[in-house]
Chain A
Amino acid sequence: KAGVTQTPRYLIKTRGQQVTLSCSPISGHRSVSWYQQTPGQGLQFLFEYFSETQRNKGNFPGRFSGRQFSNSRSEMNVSTLELGDSALYLCASSISTQEAFFGQGTRLTVV
C-alpha cells in the first residue's frame, strides 16, 4: 500500500514568488491536512480538506491557500513568498479519527 506522497521534495524560491506543493494521500483516505514545521514554532496546522471542502483552517495569513481534487489529491499554494515561509511543509492523510499518516515533506527555502 503506497504511503502519502509529497512533491517536490525540495524547492528554492525568491521572495515575492508563489509556490504550489502537492500531496497524494493514501488510497481511500479522504481527509488531507497540511502542516508547517519550523525550528521556532514547531508543527503548526495549516488547513484540512475533506471531500474537496476545507473543513478547518489554522492561524495563517490568506497568502496560504489550498484545494483538494475529486481523487483526494491536494495542493497548497503560497503567494507572495516571504523569508519566514521557509519551512518543512508536511501533508497527512487519515480516515476519520484513525491514525494519521504523513508524507516525507517538502522543504521550501525562500531566498
Chain B
Amino acid sequence: KQEVTQIPAALSVPEGENLVLNCSFTDSAIYNLQWFRQDPGKGLTSLLLIQSSQREQTSGRLNASLDKSSGRSTLYIAASQPGDSATYLCAVLRPGTSYGKLTFGQGTILTVHP
C-alpha cells in the first residue's frame, strides 16, 4: 500500500526566505508525482508534475525534484511572498488499473508573513 508523508506539517517564514517542503512515499513504483497548492476552502491548483523518468521540474520560483529510489521529492520555493501562503500537497500516481487514483500526503500549511 502506497503511503505519502509530508514534512513539516506547518511552516511559518518571513517574506523573502527560500524554503523547502518535503514529500516521501513508500513505494517507488510510480508513474508520476504532482505538487498542488490549495487555498482555504478552494480546490487544488496543480503546480508541478514530475514524471517517473524525470529528476526535476521548474516553474518560475518553484522547483520540484524527484528521487524515486529513495522515495523522496522536494518542493523548493525561492524568495517566498505572502501570496504563497497556502497548503501544499504532494500526490503520487501508481501503476495499476486506474490512471485517476492519486495518493495524497496530508499537506504542509505554509504561512509567509510580511
Contacts and interface: CB of A to CB of B under 8 A. Distances in A.
Contact of A97 (B43, B91, B99): B99
Interface in B70-92: 89, 91
Contacts of B101: 33, 45, 48, 56, 58
B104 A92 contact: no
B106 to A, nearest CB: 5
A97 B31 contact: yes
Contacts of B97: 55-56
Contacts of B51: 97
Given A97-B31, A97-B32, A102-B36, A55 B44 contact: no
A61 interface: no
Could you say which interface size class chain B belongs to? 20 to 34
B89 A101 contact: no
Given A31-B99, A96-B99, A98-B49, A42 B107 contact: yes
Contact of B93 (A49, A50, A97): A97
Contact of A104 (B42, B100, B102): B42
Contacts of B45: 102
A4 B100 CA distance: 14
A103 B42 CA distance: 9
Interface residues of A, number: 30
Interface string A38-76: 000011010011100001101000000000000000000
Nearest to A95: B99
B98 interface: yes
Interface in A83-104: 88, 90, 92, 94, 96-104
A2 B89 CA distance: 23
Given A97-B51, A102-B45, A107-B41, 10 more contacts: A42-B106, A45-B102, A45-B103, A48-B100, A55-B98, A92-B44, A94-B99, A102-B36, A102-B44, A104-B42
Counting from the closest, the 3 A-B pairs by CB-CB distance are: A33-B100, A48-B100, A56-B98
Interface of A: 4, 6, 31-33, 35, 42-43, 45, 48-50, 55-56, 58, 88, 90, 92, 94, 96-105, 107
